[in-house]
Amino acid sequence: MGTICGGVCGCRQNWAVPGSATRALLATSIGHVLPTVSRLAKSMGLTVHSSPQLVDIIDDRGGRRLDVLFQRLARELTAAETEAVRMVTDPRPTGRRSPPGC
pLDDT band for 21, please (50, 70, 90 cuts): confident
Q: Write down the pLDDT at residue 14.
A: 60
Identify whether 37 is part of a domain. Answer: yes
From CA 12, how far away is CA 40, in angstroms rounded?
24
Q: Is this structure's pTM higher than 0.75? A: no
pLDDT band for 23, please (50, 70, 90 cuts): very high
Identify whether 10 is part of a domain. Answer: no
Identify whether 3 is part of a domain. Answer: no
What total of structural domains would you count in the chain? 1
Identify whether 100 is part of a domain. Answer: no
Residue 49 lies in domain: 21-91
Q: Model confidence over 34-52: pLDDT tens digits?
A: 999 999 999 999 999 998 8
Number of H-type helices and E-type strands within the chain: 3, 6
Q: Write down the pLDDT at residue 40.
A: 94
Q: Model confidence over 50-89: pLDDT tens digits?
A: 988 899 999 998 888 998 998 898 888 888 898 889 988 8
From 79, 60, 25, select the one nearest 37 (Cα to Cα).
25
The CATH number of whichever domain residue 65 belongs to comes to: 3.30.70.100
Q: Write down the pLDDT at residue 8.
A: 59
